[in-house]
Copies of this chain bind each other. A is one copy, B any other.
């Protein structure tokens, strides 16, 4: 009945986890509903109990199901509430890049309001480090990441900073599809430097709106540089 034994996209456990997730996402299995027992699932999908356990373990870590020894497995009260996951197909999505731009702009706006002297010094240092890296012939990718993290740090909101790092990493992966290295040939790395300076200036003048606009321009320019706009 099942095709799990025939096609194997990844592993049996992954496939089964995906299969079991559907009724939960679709709402066919409501919160607090009991899932079939591991034994029943193993029989139904023609896999061993170990595979079922691994699939359920994955759904557990994602917060979709909860298990209690002796009682069974249940759909969690708030399915999917523990982790925010980006689909693989979503990488490279323009919506993802836009979300990153919004978050970074929020970081800049908050940074404009709350930054300390130390934050400004760190921002300048990060910008200088990137300029040096570019001057030495590198791409300055690590330094660019560092600059944006320092900006997020200046917003003084750890949750925001963590999410900015998370979304930024995915957005960068998406952009790498567009051949980062060719930026070097076109000598456009200097543009980035100038945009970073504009962000620092907007933040230093404690102008949230200007900081937001500076970041939005910076991200949009990045997309244009990568031919993604």
Interface residues of A (CB under 8 A from B): 13, 50, 53-54, 57-58, 61-62, 78, 80-86, 90, 93, 95-96, 98-99, 102-103, 106, 110, 157-160, 162-163, 166-167, 169-170, 173
Contact = CB atoms under 8 A, between A and B. Distances in A.
Contact of A159 (B82, B95, B157, B166): B95
B95 A160 contact: yes
Nearest to A59: B61
B86 A82 contact: yes
Contact of A84 (B54, B98, B158, B166): B166
Contacts of A166: 80-81, 84
**Interface residues of A, dominant DSSP:** helix
Contact of A54 (B54, B62, B98, B106): B54
Contacts of A157: 95, 98-99
A173 to B, nearest CB: 8
Nearest to A162: B84
A165 to B, nearest CB: 9
Given A84-B84, A169-B81, A90 B57 contact: no
Given A13-B57, A57-B13, A84 B83 contact: yes
Contact of A57 (B58, B81, B158): B58
Nearest to A106: B102
Given A57-B58, A61-B61, A86 B50 contact: no
Contacts of A93: 159
A62 to B, nearest CB: 6
B163 A99 contact: yes
**Which of A84, A162, A173 gathers most chain B CB within 10 Å?**
A84
A139 to B, nearest CB: 17
Given A62-B83, A84-B166, 20 more contacts: A13-B57, A50-B53, A53-B54, A54-B57, A57-B57, A61-B61, A78-B169, A78-B173, A80-B166, A81-B166, A82-B85, A83-B83, A84-B163, A84-B167, A86-B159, A95-B157, A98-B160, A99-B159, A102-B106, A102-B160
